[in-house]
Amino acid sequence: MGGLHATSSTTPYLSLLARSRKFEKRDLEEELYDRRTLGKIRCVRKTIYIHTKDMIPVAFRATARVVVRASKRHMEYRGVSAEEYEHLSQAILGVLAGREMTAAAIKTALGTGVDLSSILYLMCDQGLLIRGRPERGWKDRNHHYSLFRAYFPDIDLEEMSEMEAITSLVKQYLASFGPVRESDIVWWTGLGKTKVRAAMTNLGHLVSKVTLSGLGGDFVMLRSDEALVKDVGLPDIPTVNLLPTLDPYLMGYKERGRYLDKGYYDKVFDRSGNATSTVLVGGKVLGVWDFEGGEDPVVKLFLFEPIGRDALDKVYAQAQRLGRFIASREVQVRECDAMVPLTERTAGSFMSPLRGC
């Protein structure tokens, strides 16, 4: 999957639910916060991902130059000087020695009025801190911070060169998303053509050029996956998947014609390119979904076109499963007759695409 997209606190849970027959919230929480086989870092395109321990130094080293530069600019924009950062970052390291704390608790301990969130972001991006357990459950965006070296004492973030890390990151991307175009790799990594082409040169004979039926131009993939892809057959009844906002599959490609018709683009992506929660039938995005809580929780659906009774029954079944996971109780499923395109709505509307339906 190339990591779990974790900008939204709920996305990684719902991404795993969509790909697992049996998945409980505690499964991810145990790996993240108890066993610590996974960790959250900002990496590709300056977004937060959950990666396995072996991929954390790869993703970190490959993207640190871009991520840290952006984080410093943000901190300066928030009014924090380099001198203030040097002083407060050292104080934060001292406060967190031997324990983990929320941003609010750290701010109280330091007694500072400086914009602490931008400092904590930069410290995470430099590999000094790591984001840990959320304060109040899986939906909460407020989490505890820990010293990186205490949280992961056996991870060396400088164990490889930047180019070695970029090559490994591109290889992982190809394994997760191939076949892809070069433009897809450049967009997903956020590293630019020069570095991506250097990584592809390093991979050399491990990569094959292929063509895909119905999609023009050359694609590339790992040679080891080529036979596997050719042997995959289509099921008699199309598969149905309900994916969350910013799911790795939706965000994995710059060129999205493989899974989305152009006529539906403005219903799935907003003006910033953020993907909303979607209904996939046979690998194609044919609708969106939304969840509304309260006394009578409901999963709302808006389908772009008729999909047939068998597929519709599977959509409803998946919507009920998804709703039970979110609400921890039975939910209703309701179809909407229309939706306002995301490109005509305010920023952040992709998080609730069917609000008002």
Query: In this predicted model, what pLDDT tens digit does every residue of 291-308 receive, in sequence order?
Result: 999 999 999 999 999 998
Q: What is the pLDDT of residue 227?
A: 85
Residue 77 neighbours by CB under 8 Å, 6+ apart: none
Query: In this predicted model, what pLDDT tens digit does every residue of 84-132 receive, in sequence order?
Result: 999 999 999 999 999 999 999 999 999 988 999 999 999 999 999 999 9
Q: Is the pLDDT of residue 212 over 90?
A: no
Distance CA 193, CA 186 (A): 6
Q: Is the pLDDT of residue 237 over 90?
A: no
C-beta atoms surrounding 132 within 10 Å: 18
Query: In this predicted model, what pLDDT tens digit does every residue of 314-348 receive, in sequence order?
Result: 999 999 999 999 999 999 999 999 999 999 999 99
C-beta atoms surrounding 220 within 10 Å: 20
Model confidence at 232, pLDDT cuts 50, 70, 90, reads: confident
Query: In this predicted model, what pLDDT tens digit does every residue of 68-83 receive, in sequence order?
Result: 999 999 999 999 999 9
Q: What is the pLDDT of residue 289?
A: 98
Cross-sheet strand order for the sheet of 38-42: 4-5, 48-52, 38-42, 129-134, 143-147, 101-102
Query: In this predicted model, what pLDDT tens digit does every residue of 22-76 receive, in sequence order?
Result: 999 999 999 999 999 999 999 999 999 999 999 999 999 999 999 999 999 999 9
Residue 215 neighbours by CB under 8 Å, 6+ apart: 257, 258
Q: Domain map of the chain by residue range?
A: 4-151, 163-230, 240-351
- CATH code assigned to 4-151: 1.10.10.10
Torsion 119-125-127-132 (CA) sign: positive
The single-letter code of the amino acid at 111 is: G
Query: In this predicted model, what pLDDT tens digit does every residue of 126-163 receive, in sequence order?
Result: 999 999 999 989 999 899 999 999 999 999 999 999 99
Q: What global pTM score does this model have? A: 0.94
Q: What is the pLDDT of residue 331?
A: 97
Q: Which CATH class is domain 163-230?
A: mainly alpha
Q: What is the pLDDT of residue 42?
A: 97
Q: What is the pLDDT of residue 230?
A: 81
Model confidence at 256, pLDDT cuts 50, 70, 90, reads: very high
The pairing of strands 48-52 and 240-243 is unpaired
Q: What is the pLDDT of residue 278?
A: 98
Distance CA 232, CA 167 (A): 28
Q: What is the pLDDT of residue 98?
A: 94
Contact call for residues 283 and 239 (beta carbons, < 8 A) = yes
Query: In this predicted model, what pLDDT tens digit does every residue of 181-191 receive, in sequence order?
Result: 999 999 999 99
Residue 32 neighbours by CB under 8 Å, 6+ apart: 38, 39, 40, 50, 133
Q: Is the pLDDT of residue 313 over 90?
A: yes
Q: Is the pLDDT of residue 217 over 90?
A: no
Contact call for residues 171 and 203 (beta carbons, < 8 A) = yes
Q: Is the pLDDT of residue 233 over 90?
A: no
Name which of 19, 59, 25, 23 is nearest 39 in CA terms: 59
Q: Report whether the peptide linkage leading into residue 235 is cis, meaning its omega lies within 30 degrees of zero.
A: no
**Which long-range contacts link 114-117 to residues 24+ away (Cβ below 8 Å)?**
114/79, 114/80, 114/84, 114/88, 115/75, 115/78, 115/79, 115/80, 116/88, 117/78
Q: What is the pLDDT of residue 31?
A: 97
| Residue length of the chain | 357
Q: Is the pLDDT of residue 235 over 90?
A: no
Q: What is the rounded average pLDDT for all residues in the chain?
A: 95
